[in-house]
Amino acid sequence: MQPLGPSFKTNIGANRPVAAPITDSGFKHLAGRIRSFTRGERSQRLQAACDAGALDGEIPQLLHDLDAMADRMNLALARQNLHESLIANSTDAIISKTLQGIVTGWNPAATEIFGYTEAEMIGESILILIPEDRRGEEDEILCKISQGERLKNYQTLRRRKNGEIFPVSVTLSPIRDTVGAIIGASKIARDITEAVNTAQALKRAEERYELVLQGTNLGIWEWDLSTDNMYWSARLRAIVGSLPGNEVENYDRFMALLHPDDRWEVEDRLRAHLDRREPLDMEYRLLGKEGAYAWIHATGQAIWDNQGKPIRVAGSVEDITDRTQLQFKLQETVDKLRKSNKDLDEFAFAASHDLKAPLRVIDNTSQWLMEDLEPWLTSETRENMALLRSRVTRMKKLLSDLLEYAQIGKSPDERYGDQVKGSELLENIVTLLSPKAGFTVRADAGFAKLTVPRMPLQQVLMNLVDNAIKHHDKAEGRVEIGLRDAGSMLLISVSDDGPGVPAQFHEKIFEVFRTLKPRDQVEGSGIGLAMVRKNVEMFGGAIKLHSSPGQGCQFRFTWPKSPQEMP
């Protein structure tokens, strides 16, 4: 009789096969020996044993048991091979350890994640992988495992062989022996560095986004057209204040919060955006704190599906209540200024026309009286009549200048569209002023290359040149008109060699009715330099006086270039 295998021996007296301890290699060898026999061969060998008297009538049952054992061995080996393959090919670290924390199992992924090889870790303490400040976790984990608990997706920190600390997600389960006693723990560890970095980056982005919204005073809204649900951010709710039910649930409820005068326009703007994709940008009033309406500036953008149907709209809102109220107040102020200007225009017109009429009568009458009474006039009466006529002339000049000052910037006449060469403009100025003998007026040669609007530049230069001659303290003098390129502007200067002006009067001389000498000494209305400044500033320029006593005066002002003046 041939033996069944090296791991079995037959006890004839008991008529039962007695199994010696089988190791993993012995189990595989026995399974191989059993698989090497066909069922017929096994039957023949067992029949031979029976004929020899070694076995009794249990042959059929023994045959059946051996076949079943072979099948179970094959299934167990298949499962073991699958289990080993899964562990070897897993991308997660799979580690087994005793209840004392000694490593008993280590797969290739554990080597890839932690950097230690299987040979380096088997038999070593799991504490090698745990940072010092987290080693208390291990005692808590082993305590829970020994009580049969299972820890799932426990996030913590671990250490690689190179010392790097990194985040992991760990699932731990008890390992039991054949009688159910807990003898260790299995651990599946996953490196979640990328996920944690992504989550942190997302959190930082969300924090930056929220800070931006807070800094810009913006709130966020969203409208899901498929469900009609509306979302308002916390900032938007803060802008509006407490709302019925603390939320806006749908479109109808939102429309109910709108000011009645704004509902039609808001609905029309929304429809235009959803149907015709026109930009969504609108202002409206929304019911807010204590029943008051807040002014809102809202923008938004819809998303359409493949069929062109709008499915969602999202956007931002800004509380513009303060700005809108300021605009209303500003508009009120503008309206008042318009009325004041209108009154001023009417006054100037009356001054120019109604007051000039009696002045003309006084002027003519005084002239007739001087002619009729010439034989009887004394030197004193003749001087008084001349003084009377000079005051009439001054009054007429004052009224004309007042009217012109009031009209600056209102409605430019045809003279403002008259373009002339710079040289021609200067010739007109000198001709109109007719400087008295002993005074010369010279201009920069660059004026010959310019083409400029005749008005109001001619008026500005005439006032400045006339002012330089009129206030000169000598019988002879010199006035120079300079020109420089200042980028998009021209820098024009009018300089003289007169007495100069102290620094404390550099700004005062541009005020209306301000003169530095009594009008009995120098004739003038006191409005000339005020008109100069107003004209310069109306064209976007600026003027400034540079002077000191005894050093003459230089008025510098900037003037915009026209396309013809560009180099």
> Helix, strand or coil for residue 76?
helix
Q: Is the pLDDT of residue 72 over 70?
A: yes
Predicted local distance difference test score (pLDDT) of residue 282? 93
Confidence of residue 272 (pLDDT cuts 50, 70, 90): very high
Confidence of residue 36 (pLDDT cuts 50, 70, 90): low
- Helix (H) and strand (E) counts for the chain? 16, 19
Cβ contacts of residue 294 below 8 Å, gap of 6+?
239, 240, 241, 285, 286, 288, 319, 321
Q: Which residue has the tokens 């916390």?
A: 234
Exposure string of 258-275, with b = 16+ CB inside 10 Å and e = fewer, is beeebeeebeebbeebbe
Q: Is the pLDDT of residue 522 over 50?
A: no
Q: Output the CA torsion 534→538→539→543 (10° steps).
A: 30
Q: Is the pLDDT of residue 452 over 60?
A: yes
Q: Is the pLDDT of residue 412 over 80?
A: no
Domains and CATH numbers, the chain: 8-86 (no CATH), 90-197 (3.30.450.20), 218-316 (3.30.450.20), 326-407 (1.10.287), 414-565 (3.30.565.10)
Predicted local distance difference test score (pLDDT) of residue 33? 55
> Helix, strand or coil for residue 515?
coil
CB 511 within 8 A of CB 525: no
Q: What percent of the chain has pLDDT over 90?
A: 19
Please list the alpha-helical segments (H only) found in 319-478.
321-353, 356-372, 379-407, 422-433, 454-470
Q: Is the pLDDT of residue 502 over 90?
A: no
Confidence of residue 354 (pLDDT cuts 50, 70, 90): low
What is the rounded CA–CA span in Å between residue 217 and residue 207? 15
Per-residue pLDDT reduced to its tens digit, 161-205: 999 999 999 999 998 888 889 999 989 999 999 989 988 888 888
pTM, entire model: 0.39
Confidence of residue 18 (pLDDT cuts 50, 70, 90): very low
Per-residue pLDDT reduced to its tens digit, 97-135: 999 999 999 999 899 999 999 999 999 999 999 999 988
Residues in the chain: 567
Confidence of residue 415 (pLDDT cuts 50, 70, 90): low
Confidence of residue 20 (pLDDT cuts 50, 70, 90): very low
> Helix, strand or coil for residue 381?
helix
